[in-house]
Amino acid sequence: MPPPAPDIPAPNTLQRGSETIRAMLVGAPKAGTTSLYRYAVQHPNLLGHPQRELSYFFSNEEYNSGYDAATAKYFPSPTAEKALPLAKHVFTMYSPSAITRLKEHNPHTHVFALLRDPVRRAYSSFWYAKRRGWDTAKTFEQAIQWEADQTTGDDWLTNRDRMHLHVGIYHPHINNLLDTFGKDQVHIFLTDDLASDAAKLCRSIYQATGVDPTFTPDLIQNHNTASAARSEPAARALASVLKSKNPLKRAIRKLIPHSLARRTRHALLALNEKPFTPPPMNEDTRRKLIDHFAPHNEQLAQLIGRDLSIWSRGTGGNRA
């Protein structure tokens, strides 16, 4: 059990921006983090952000604007009851500068990472990137070949939505988390843990934030389920407009409130989605990727003290 969090301020002292982030889900994408986050923020004392990701620590532009601006964007309506912010950003784990900023923001923050079999995670990531118009490859094999042709220096996060394999090499990033926050504040779970006992993972978050750990959230609904784009050209066009440096997006930001822009964006994305079940992964591709990740998985297993041999055996299935 993590050490108790500092005392919660009295209700009449709570103001927007006055509460630092005490717990944050920092990775990994396509591992179940959206579901875990939506379960956890049902707690009556935790304040969640409606956006899927809080990019304050990750984005230079947002970080330079200050934490008050971030709380106005992500946590606009704190109350005496729901005053403790819980944050999520799945690529924070992969950015040393974001981790450093989080540490400086609150050195007592508890960070949570949810990790998935990297082969299955990569396959799921590919189909999600196609759905959102980020990956133009026709097949998973073409996508991983494109990735193999790229350099993976410090700027690999620029292409993070297409780096399906690189994102699954977890151990360097987990090691950095442990070095930065210490083992008492770093909590590593597997997607299988979420599937078997989501309530237990939520209790860990509640204990870390100092709220009542006996609260049981509704765990029925699945979040961020698989779907596909009805029109891939439309998905790519929308993705281009939504890029952070797109002039049109910047102009829209100045004209309408962020909350309205977010709802409009999600409505447009939903209109271009349809139910979809990815086909089984090519067996030869699956075997090659198991071999590719095996040494990395072994390093991670030694680092976190968990048996991950099921990932290297590839017995978890071959669907996304």
206 plus 255 within the same structural domain: no
158 plus 243 within the same structural domain: no
236 plus 135 within the same structural domain: no
Banded model confidence at residue 15, pLDDT cuts 50, 70, 90: very low
Banded model confidence at residue 240, pLDDT cuts 50, 70, 90: low
47 plus 171 within the same structural domain: yes
How many domains would you assign to the chain? 2
- Residue the block writes with tokens 């108790």: 4
Question: DSSP character for 271?
Answer: H
Residue at 173 is within a domain? yes
206-237 pLDDT, tens digit each: 999 999 999 999 998 766 666 665 666 665 66
Q: What is the helix (H) or strand (E) element at residue 209, kind and residue range?
A: helix 191-209
Measured CA distances, 51 to 22, 153, 222, 284 (Å)? 18, 29, 17, 38
Global pTM reads 0.81
Residue-level pLDDT at 4: 39
103 plus 234 within the same structural domain: no
Residue at 210 is within a domain? yes
159 plus 245 within the same structural domain: no
What is the CA 314 to chain-centroid distance, rounded?
24
Percent of the chain at pLDDT above 70?
A: 75
181 plus 270 within the same structural domain: no
65-100 pLDDT, tens digit each: 999 999 999 998 777 777 889 999 999 999 999 999
117 plus 243 within the same structural domain: no
Residue at 95 is within a domain? yes
Question: Three-state secondary structure along 6-55?
Answer: CCCCCHHHCCCCCCCCCEEEEECCCCCHHHHHHHHCCCCCEECCCCCCCC
Residue at 2 is within a domain? no
- Among 81-85, 143-147, 267-271, name the most confident range: 143-147
Residue at 254 is within a domain? yes
24 plus 159 within the same structural domain: yes
Residue-level pLDDT at 18: 53
Residue at 114 is within a domain? yes
Residue at 3 is within a domain? no
Q: What is the mean pLDDT of the chain?
A: 84
Residue at 319 is within a domain? no
What is the CA 311 to chain-centroid distance, rounded?
21
158 plus 295 within the same structural domain: yes
267 plus 296 within the same structural domain: no
Question: DSSP character for 12?
Answer: G
Take residue 63 and report the two structure tokens written for it: 């970080």
Q: What is the CATH number of the domain that holds 158?
A: 3.40.50.300
262 plus 201 within the same structural domain: no
Q: Which domain holds residue 241?
A: 227-276
